[in-house]
Copies of this chain bind each other. A is one copy, B any other.
């Protein structure tokens, strides 16, 4: 619709912006207008930053993380405890755990979860490399930090099977009441889990 009023370049910009998570057609239009009205401060720099990221971003061949170098910043960091490996579904989970400063360990990004319905089997995930890393030795503990969904738990059980022969500790994140959460709004599964894992005050 805006095609006829603002030139194909702007229309294309709107269409591509609308594919970003959190932006719909309406907010993409607002974002595009915001950009073209701030060419020097924002549109130019953002175009440059995207081109640069597009040039430099790669997947870490060791752990599956996304970074501008390979091995990634975390795999290359000498200050990390490499004897512990945190297995996550996605890079966004890795970022979330890093923001929380949850554990100063190494990671392994699966790139998804097992999902027969969507045709995602073990071969589609970064599992073979995980087994390889464990076989290379030096790993004492694996924290399976997948989401608490059915697919996540299925994947966790599959990983347990794959790692059965190795002498390592396999752990998972604790279930419980979220910090700041109200009991009244929590589901029964979470409440039962929190009760079972209750700790001394």
Contacts and interface: CB of A to CB of B under 8 A. Distances in A.
Contacts of A32: 53
Contact of A9 (B35, B47, B49): B49
Contacts of A51: 47, 51
A102 interface: no
Interface string A12-38: 110011011111000101111111110
Contacts of A197: none
A1 interface: yes
B35 A50 contact: yes
Interface of A: 1-2, 4-10, 12-13, 16-17, 19-23, 27, 29-37, 39, 42-47, 49-54, 56-57, 65-69, 72-74, 91-92, 94-95, 98-99
